[in-house]
Amino acid sequence: GAVVSQHPSRVICKSGTSVKIECRSLDFQATTMFWYRQFPKKSLMLMATSNEGSKATYEQGVEKDKFLINHASLTLSTLTVTSAHPEDSSFYICSARGLTEQYFGPGTRLTVT
């Protein structure tokens, strides 16, 4: 089946620094990718929809200047958490839409100290 990878799987950074998370569709091209955030024991919360070659569409309440999304190619989208704070610590999951289904990545655990 289709595979979506994320890198890194976990990252620890200091407050005020920026962190970039990569999402790749390994065996298919994805014109649309999604970024989710998940808090402990909660379901996934959509942050933004990323379309290749255009600006991302952010959900209400998500700061676009803080969570920078780039979808420069059909197989790669990146999420950059800028000026990270401890409250940004969370599990970030990307998803890529194939022809008929949406496939999820394994997630990235971000811890901001």
Partner 1 sequence: KNQVEQSPQSLIILEGKNCTLQCNYTVSPFSNLRWYKQDTGRGPVSLTIMTFSENTKSNGRYTATLDADTKQSSLHITASQLSDSASYICVVSLIQGAQKLVFGQGTRLTINP
List interacting residues with partner 1 (CB under 8 A).
4, 6, 32, 41-44, 46, 49, 91, 93, 95, 97, 101-107, 109
Q: Which is nearer to partner 1, 31 or 70 (CB)?
A: 31
Choice between 70 and 102, CB closer to partner 1: 102
CA distance 50 to 80: 13
State how far the Cα of 104 lies from the Cα of 52, in Å rounded to an integer. Answer: 17
How many Å separate Cα 38 from the centre of its chain?
Answer: 11
Other CB atoms closer than 10 Å to residue 52's CB: what's the count? 16
- Smaller CB separation from partner 1, 82 or 104: 104
CB of 27 to partner 1, least distance (A): 15
Quote the least distance from Cβ 28 to partner 1, whole Å.
14
Q: Shortest distance, CB of residue 76 to partner 1, whole angstroms?
A: 17
- Closest CB 34 distance from partner 1, rounded Å: 8
> How far is residue 35's CA from residue 105's CA, in Å, rounded to a whole number?
10
Among residues 89, 85, 98, 74, the alpha carbon closest in space to that of 24 is found at 74
Nearer to partner 1, 78 or 107 (CB): 107
